[in-house]
Amino acid sequence: MSIESQEQYESPWHRVHPISPFVRGWVVVVGAIYIYSQNILSSALEGNLKGNVFELPSEVLWPIMGIAFGIIALLLVGFYLSWRFTQYQITDDHVRTRSGILFRQHRQARIDRVQAIDIVQPLLARIFGLAELKFEVADSGQSAMNLSYLKYSDAQTLRNTILARAAGLRATAPHPSGTDDAQETQAASSSSSNGVETAEAPEIVVATTPPGRLIGSSILNPTLLVVALAFLIPVVIGGVLLETPATYVGLLPGLLSVGAIVWNELNKGFGFTASASPDGLRLKYGLTETSHQTIPPGRIQAVRVHAPLFWRPFGWYRVIANVAGYGEASGEQRSMLLRVGKLEDVYAVLPIVLPDPGTDRPLDLLTDGLKDSTDQTGFTQTPRSAAWLSPLAFKRQGYASTSTSIVIRGGRLSRHLTYVPHERTQGVLMHQGPIARRAGVADVELASTSGQILPRVKQMSVAEARSLFLMQADRAATARRLHDRNHWLVAEQNAQISPAPPSPQSSQEQPHE
pLDDT tens string 261-305: 888 888 888 999 999 988 889 999 998 889 998 888 778 889 999
Count of CB atoms within 10 A of residue 20's CB? 22
Q: Give the mean pLDDT of 401-416.
A: 91
Strand partners, 197: 191
- Check: CB of residue 269 under 8 Å from CB of residue 209: yes
Axis crossing angle, helix 251-269 with helix 222-236, rounded to the nearest 10: 170
Say how far apart CA 430 and CA 418 lie, in whole Å. Answer: 18
Which pLDDT score is estimated for 488? Answer: 58
Count of CB atoms within 10 A of residue 372's CB? 12
Which pLDDT score is estimated for 456? Answer: 94
Which pLDDT score is estimated for 183? Answer: 38
Identity of the highest mean pLDDT range in 9-18, 423-432, 475-484? 423-432
With a CB cutoff of 8 Å and minimum separation 6, the contacts of 462 are: 432, 440, 441, 442
Of the two residues 412 and 506, the one the predictor is more confident about is 412
Instruction: Enter the pTM of the model.
Output: 0.77
Nearest one of 292, 279, 334, 329 to 140, comparing CA atoms:
329
Say how far apart CA 364 and CA 286 lie, in whole Å. Answer: 33
Long-range (24+ apart) CB contacts under 8 A made by 285-289 are: 285/339, 286/121, 288/122, 288/123, 289/120, 289/121, 289/122, 289/123
Least confident of 27-36, 149-158, 295-304, 451-460: 27-36
∠477-478-480 over CA atoms, to 5°?
65
Tell me the pLDDT tens digit for each residue of 215-242. 999 888 877 777 777 777 777 776 666 6
Q: Give the mean pLDDT of 176-185.
A: 37
Largest CA distance in the chain: 97
With a CB cutoff of 8 Å and minimum separation 6, the contacts of 175 are: 181, 182, 185, 197
In the predicted model, is pLDDT for residue 314 greater than 90? yes
